[in-house]
Amino acid sequence: MKRPFQSIRWRIQVWHGLILFIAIAAFCVTAYQLAWLNQSRRIDREIQRHERQLFKSLTEANESYFSERNNGNKRIPFPEELYQIFETGKIQLPEEALNEFSGNASGYYYFAFANADGELLLKSENAPDQLNFLPLPDEVGMQEEFRTLGNLRESAHSFNFGFRIIIGHDIQSELEEKHRFGWSLGASGCGLWLIGLLGGWWLAGKAIRPIQSISQTATRIAEGNLNERINTAGTDSELDQLSHVLNHSFDRLNAILEQQRQFTADASHELRTPLTILLSESQRMCKRGKSRSEADYQDAFDLCHDACIRMRDLVESLLLLARQDSNSPNHLPCDCDLAPLIQDSCAQLRSLADSKDIAFELELETCPLHADPNLLKVVLNNLIGNAIQHHQGKGHVWVSCRPLVKQIELTVKDDGPGIPEADLPHIYDRFYRADKSRNSQDGHSGLGLALVKAILQTMGGEITVQSQQGTGTTFKVKLT
């Protein structure tokens, strides 16, 4: 088991939790602020309403004074005028205003008036002792401020002619309400966060499940269950695409492994028959050794020798093939000419050709090229040797080489029986033989053409074949 914080699920969960927390917290703080702002505005409007009411009732109480000055026109007086009444000291205080601005019950209102020197002109009996009047404005007519002092909310005004007013309101209950709101907001935010976390955990698990299944399948495949594949029956999501890619890779790896396994099996299979001969003959010779004739021994040794040659040829071909496969730079290219190499090859195979009454027809031009002559010989011996060995006898093998533009063309053609069409795609397969007998008595291991193809691939050449049953086969090799 991995450590929890290394798993993708946990990482997704942690990031998701963090982002969700920030979002919920931002939302709660904004909601809290907005709600309090709203509440403050309502409180302020309320204070203003009480202020207007106080003014109105003051005006009404001192109506006689104002109607005198205003020649009977009724209107709400300017603060200057109100101030003047205070100055005169003959202000009448209305009953209802006093009822409104009294007591210490939750939500009470109070007021205070002062002059330019800060002397209290009038205040309600419930006003606090410490009152901070606004300083007088410099030039502008009026200065105004709403402020919160502890659990009190005040509206303070000052006028340039020296009049200063404070209307206050106890907001204890609103503050408590604000606290309650804050707590409930916090609680529901936390709840939401927890639900979000659970949902995120579930979603992350759901998102991760295909990955887990992929990894489990891949583990089983790695343990050797090579035929298992990831289940791709789902929507065409990114993970499905990944599964397809992985399955494809597994298929290819499996095919390569299977090919390798087949090759090893074939190679050991090819070695088993000569080994059996060696084993059985040597065992036979060991028994009753004295009573044997010389001819008997000769016979057994001939058999053993043939078996050894078969094994040697096979092992050499396998090694050469393995070297071509590994692409190791073990060949030594040098400047050489193809034409004399072909002549050498034909000279080597002459006796075999004569024994089957096959005539060589050579048409050689000078073909200089840069390649390993030993590998070229393997190619030539195999192609020309095949043409002779598969021939039914009495015929021709044509070998020609000519230089083309930047290329050299080698052609080996025979008028033998040809290759059946069904076998053509497989002739370069390792250990493939047109007859399924795996009969290696005539020296075929089934590796010749595979070797030719592998060598040409490392040389950068290519080989093509044309064959018609009854008329013969033509191999064309192009070397650069």
The answer to whether residue 426 forms part of the interface with other proteins (CB under 8 A) is no
Residue among 389, 400, 313 nearest 353 (CA): 389
Site of tokens 């009448």 = 92
Name the segment binding other proteins (CB under 8 A); options: 11-19, 85-93, 278-286, 333-341: 278-286
280 lies in the binding site for other proteins (CB under 8 A): yes
- 362 three-class SS: strand
Residues 439-478 that bind other proteins (CB under 8 A): 439-441
Should residue 281 be labelled a site residue for other proteins when binding is judged by CB under 8 A? yes
Which helix (DSSP H) or strand (DSSP E) does residue 327 occupy? Answer: none
Q: 109's torsion region: left (phi>0), alpha (psi -120 to 50) or beta?
A: beta
**CB of 427 vs other proteins, minimal distance in Å:** 18
Closer CB to other proteins, 192 or 275, in the complex: 275
The size of the interface with other proteins (CB under 8 A), counted in residues, is 29
Residue carrying structure tokens 């002779």: 388
Interface pick for other proteins out of 44, 46, 51, 306 (rule CB under 8 A): 306
| Residue 307 engages other proteins in binding (rule: CB under 8 A) | yes
Residue 273 within binding range of other proteins, rule CB under 8 A: yes
Residues near 85 by beta carbon (within 8 Å), at least 6 away in sequence: 62, 65, 91
Q: Which of 1, 435, 464, 470 binds other proteins (CB under 8 A)?
A: 435
Contact flag: residue 277 with other proteins (CB under 8 A): yes
CB of 307 to other proteins, least distance (A): 6
* Contact indicator for 226, 249 with CB cutoff of 8 Å: no
Minimum CB separation of residue 422 from other proteins in Å reads 16
Tell me: does residue 293 bind other proteins (CB under 8 A): no
How far is Cα 391 from Cα 432, in angstroms, rounded to an integer? 18
Closer to other proteins at the Cβ: 89 or 289?
A: 289
Contact between 313 and other proteins (CB under 8 A)? no
Q: Residue 17 in contact with residue 197, Cβ under 8 Å?
A: yes
Strand, helix or coil at 435? Answer: coil
| Rounded (10°) angle between helices 373-389 and 338-355 | 30
Residue 274 engages other proteins in binding (rule: CB under 8 A):
yes
In sequence order, what DSSP letters do the residues of 78-107 get, joined into one string? PHHHHHHHHHHT-PPPPHHHHHHT---STT
Question: Which residues sit opposite 125 in a β-bridge?
Answer: none
Phi, psi values for residue 468, rounded to 5°: -135, 130
Q: Which is nearer to other proteins, 262 or 400 (CB)?
A: 262
State in Å, rounded, how far the first CA of the chain is from the last one. 57
Q: Is 284 in the site for other proteins (CB under 8 A)?
A: yes
Q: Is 269 in the site for other proteins (CB under 8 A)?
A: yes
279 lines the binding site for other proteins (CB under 8 A): yes
Judged by CB under 8 A, the residue of 104, 293, 437, 464 near other proteins is 437
Applying CB under 8 A, which part among 74-82, 275-283, 344-352, 353-361 lies near other proteins? Answer: 275-283
Interface region with other proteins, contact rule CB under 8 A, candidates 180-188, 213-221, 274-282, 335-343: 274-282
Smallest distance, other proteins to C-beta of residue 306, A: 6
272 binds other proteins (CB under 8 A): yes
Task: State the minimum distance, in angstroms, from the CB of residue 403 to other proteins.
Answer: 43
> What's the CA gap between 379 and 454, in Å, rounded?
10
User: Using the rule CB under 8 A, is 276 a contact of other proteins?
Assistant: yes
SS3 331: coil
Q: Given the complex with other proteins, which of 52 and 269 has the nearer CB atom?
A: 269
* 335 to 134, 216, 332: CA distances (angstroms): 109, 56, 10
DSSP helix, strand, coil percent of the chain (3-state; round to 5): 55, 15, 30
Looking from the CA of 394 toward its CB, the CA atoms found within 13 Å total 0
Q: Which stretch in 45-53, 170-178, 265-273, 415-423 sits in contact with other proteins by CB under 8 A?
A: 265-273
Distance CA(41)–CA(331), nearest Å, equals: 94
183, two tokens: 């707590």
Binding status of residue 206 toward other proteins by CB under 8 A: no
Among 56, 377, 396, 438, binds other proteins (CB under 8 A): 438
Could you tell me if 225 and 22 are in contact, meaning their C-beta atoms sit under 8 angstroms apart? no
Binding mask 335-364 for other proteins (x = CB under 8 A): ------------------------------
Contact set with other proteins (CB under 8 A): 265, 268-269, 272-281, 283-284, 287-288, 299-300, 303, 306-307, 435-441
